[in-house]
Amino acid sequence: MPVCLPSNRCSSSSSPTWMEELVDEIVAHAEDKVLEQDIAHWREDLRQRLAQVQQHPEQGLGFIEEHIRQATLRLQCLLVQKAMQDKANQAEEKCPDCGRPLGAKKRRVVRWVDAYCGPVKLARTHGWCPHCEHWVFPADRLLGLRPDSTASPLVQEMCALLVSKMPAEQAEALALRVTGRRLSRSTLAREAQRQGDQALGVRQQLVEAPVVAPTAQASAGRDQASEPFTLVIQIDAWNIRERDHWGRTKQQRRKDPKFDRWHWVYTATCFRLSHRCKKGRFKNKLRPIITERSYVATRGGLDALRQQIYYEARVRGLAQAERVLVLADGAVWIWNLVEDRFKKADQRLDLWHANAYLWAVANELHGKGSKEARQWVKPLLKQVRNDQVAQVITRLEELQPHLAKAAAKAASEAIEYYQDNQKRMKYKEGRQRHEPVGSGAIESTCRQLQCRLKRCGQFWSTRGDEALLCLEMFWRNDRWEMLFPHAKLTALTNN
Ligand SMILES: [Zn+2]
């Protein structure tokens, strides 16, 4: 089976004779005549391949597996082609959009489909819908084929999944080894973009629709639906470099002095406190994990974040939660958003950020990494941990007039930060309630996303990064099957 599709994939540009022959061949497949011969041919090919392995003592199970995989790809292509054609033949000659009969039909037209096992051919009719005023192939819709792409739904999914996890160059090499066939990096990138664009539309519909009550949501945990619970929300942001208006930075800056290549990716997570536990093989090395959680990451600005995190929180049971706790650093936009959307939530400043301000003073006073700095900061950190931030502020205020310039600056920044966030610094209370005192869960998510989207030399278009982030969120939020319904089958078979 050739691995590359013929360049002349679109039937409209092919000669009628070529087309008719092809149609006959495909119809013969559908009627099983050729298929039986093909199966016999495949069996012989496989027999020869396996005989070859027997003759080579150095070829182990890996060779057997690889031969069977390669030989079976061809058979799979034949089976896919036949089943696809059978399905296409059943397509009603009606407009899939309005259901009216199609006019001006209907020469059989061939298209190549890039299936996971290789290229396959499909013959189907098309017609004109006078109501919708478009030419349409009902069979293509029935099969889930896009008019603008040759990729089959499984290839569409593979591209989306691979490129949302790694750059297309890596995905190309990986796809070859994992699937046994070549998907070019341009196909991978193009198809992932298409799927990402589609995912953006699905997400928009989702966040605008009413939320299903958590009792009906398996992911929310049926067993806990009626018990009181705390909902934890963590919010953070990181930036990404974009290449829109590439090479025209100066012109753009003249138009808009605030023009910047770096843009914020707003990120959030939300989970029930009871879904946070510690796991590990050794008692003294337990790692906190969250068994069920929702994610948001968007390049679409604060309004998009607000809408999406509000949606995810409702899915996790915002309306039923006994207590809602938001954890984040001191960024003003975060707390404005919380006041707006989660007014009744308790707010907590991430302890690590709180500590960092004291460390900055200590380092200026005694030198970075010095024993004296550690000694100076230790009792103050303890006071912060024990909700005595007022004392810390007083101490810094007393100290400030006697400090050198840099240390005084660090001290005044710390005072301002603590004054702004004092009501959010209840760490003792947090520990007593067995709640997180830091926003580590969201920070580790940010780091993971940065590993994919913030590599050296990477630039993104606004459209490109948002589409990939959207795919990644569908994957993480366990909604992949909304985009690729066939994925359910794998889940079912492996359960
Ligand atoms: Zn129509």
Angle at 65 between CA 64 and CA 68, to 5 degrees: 85
Cα(139) to centroid of ligand 1, in Å? 14
Q: What is the pLDDT of residues 16-61, one digit of tens each?
A: 566 667 667 766 666 666 677 877 888 888 889 989 999 999 999 9
Give the Å distance between the CA of 271 and the centre of ligand 1. 44
Residues 422, 464: contact at Cβ < 8 Å?
A: no
CA of 15 to the centre of ligand 1 (A): 29
Contact (CB, 8 A) for 266 and 303: no
Q: How far apart are CA 455 and CA 8, in angstroms?
A: 37
- pLDDT band, very low/low/confident/very high, at 215 (cuts 50, 70, 90): low
Q: For residue 134, how far is its CA from the centre of ligand 1 (angstroms)? A: 7
CA distance 248 to 267: 29
Contact 463, 263 (CB under 8 A): no
Distance CA 131, CA 51 (A): 60
Instruction: Give the Å distance between the CA of 131 and the centre of ligand 1.
Output: 5
Provide the angle, in degrees to the nearest 10, between the axes of the packed helices 153-165 and 185-208: 90
SS (H, E, C) 416-448: HHHHHHHHHCCHHHHHHCCCCCCCHHHHHHHHH
Residue 392, class by beta-carbon neighbours within 10 Å (0-12 exposed, 13-18 middle, 19+ buried)?
A: buried
Q: Kindly give the distance from the C-alpha atom of residue 387 to the centroid of ligand 1, in angstroms, as a whole number.
A: 66
User: What contacts 78, CB < 8 A, 6 or more positions away?
Assistant: 29, 35, 38, 39, 42
From ligand 1's centre to the CA of 391, what distance in Å? 72
Backbone phi, then psi, for 72, in 5-degree steps?
Answer: -75, -25
Q: Which one, of 404, 76, 464, 40, lies nearest residue 240 by Cα?
A: 464
Dihedral angle over CA of 430, 431, 434, 436, nearest 10 = 60
In this prediction, residue 273 has a pLDDT band, given cuts at 50, 70 and 90, of very high
Q: What is the structure's pLDDT at 10?
A: 41
**Which pLDDT band, with edges at 50, 70 and 90, does 71 fall under?**
confident
Predicted confidence (pLDDT) at residue 98 exceeds the cutoff of 60: yes
In angstroms, what is the span from residue 22 Cα to ligand 1's centroid?
A: 29
pTM above 0.75, yes or no: yes
Question: Can you tell me whether residue 329 is helix, strand or coil?
Answer: coil
Note whether 305 and 268 are within 8 A (CB): yes
Half-sphere exposure of residue 82: CA atoms within 13 angstroms, side-chain side: 17
CA of 105 from ligand 1 middle (Å) equals 14
Share of the chain above pLDDT 90, in %: 53
Ligand 1 centroid – CA 479 distance (Å): 30
| Average pLDDT value for residue range 184-203 | 93
| Distance from Cα 106 to the centre of ligand 1, integer Å | 16
Residue 149 Cα to ligand 1 middle (Å): 21
Q: Are strands 108-115 and 323-328 parallel, antiparallel or unpaired?
A: unpaired
Burial 21-55 (b: 16+ CB within 10 A, else e): ebbeebeebbeeebbeebeeebeebbeebeeebee
3-state secondary structure of 466: helix
Nearest to 305 by CA among 140, 168, 442: 442
Least reliable range by pLDDT among 19-23, 351-355, 435-439:
19-23
Rounded distance between C-alpha atoms, residue 159 and residue 168, angstroms = 9
Q: Burial level of 266, CB count in 10 A (0-12/13-18/19+)?
A: buried
What is the distance in A from the centroid of ligand 1 to the CA of 99?
6
The CA-atom distances, in angstroms, between 46 and each of 40, 71, 177, 246, 291 are 10, 6, 20, 53, 45
Cα–Cα–Cα angle for 391, 397, 398, rounded to 5 degrees: 90
Please tell me the distance between residue 350's alpha carbon and the centre of ligand 1 in angstroms: 55
Written as six digits, the tokens of 391 are 């004392």
Distance 97 CA to ligand 1 centre (A): 5
Dist. CA 10 → ligand 1 center (Å): 23
CA of 96 to the centre of ligand 1 (A): 7
pLDDT in tens, 365-392: 999 989 999 999 999 999 999 999 999 9
128 C-alpha vs ligand 1 centroid, how far in Å?
8
The verdict on whether omega for the bond into residue 106 sits within 30 degrees of 0, i.e. cis, is yes
135 alpha carbon to ligand 1 midpoint, in Å? Answer: 9
**Cβ density class 339-372: b for 16+ within 10 Å, e for less:** eebbeebbbbbbbebbbebbbbbbbbbbeeeeee
**CA 145 to centroid of ligand 1, rounded, Å:** 18
Q: How far is the CA of 94 from the centre of ligand 1 (A)?
A: 8
Distance in angstroms (rounded) separating the CA atoms of residues 429 and 433 = 6
